[in-house]
Amino acid sequence: MMICQHFLIEPTKEQEEKLFYTLYLCRKLYNYSLDQRIKHYKQYGKGLTYKEQQNMLPKYKKEHTEYKLVQSQILQDVLRRLDRAYKNFFDKRAKYPKFKDKYHYTSITLPQCEAKRNFGNMYT
């Protein structure tokens, strides 16, 4: 059973800036991953899977050092969202995944139960 909890937070100005920066990085990763899938399909005639992109994530984080500020599970969830968007498209439940702008990527998923304990540490 999966439990989902929503929290109303009142961050300080500094925490708010870090949260928006995290959203920016997640949106950037989503768009990069979508572009990567499109290019890979055009080049090889075969799409990338979630697992393949997840395995590329450590190298991407090394190349883009700003991602060290974001927990890896949050970044993995970005890739899961993209994978889910593709699955919904292929199951004819949604349109083809689109690139996101700041108005269409407005949430992140914090990992497991650690989110409650680490939320303050993550943005302080």
pLDDT in tens, 89-117: 999 999 999 999 999 999 988 866 554 54
Residue 13 has pLDDT above 80, yes or no: yes
3-state secondary structure of 103: coil
pTM: 0.84
Q: Which pLDDT does position 8 carry in this prediction?
A: 80
User: CA 16, CA 24: separation in Å to the nearest integer?
Assistant: 12
How far is CA 120 from its chain centroid? 20
Check residues 91 and 9 and name the one with the higher pLDDT: 91
User: CA 101, CA 73: separation in Å to the nearest integer?
Assistant: 22
Q: Map out the domains of the chain as residue ranges.
A: 14-122
* Nearest residue to 122 (alpha-carbon basis) of 6, 4, 11: 11
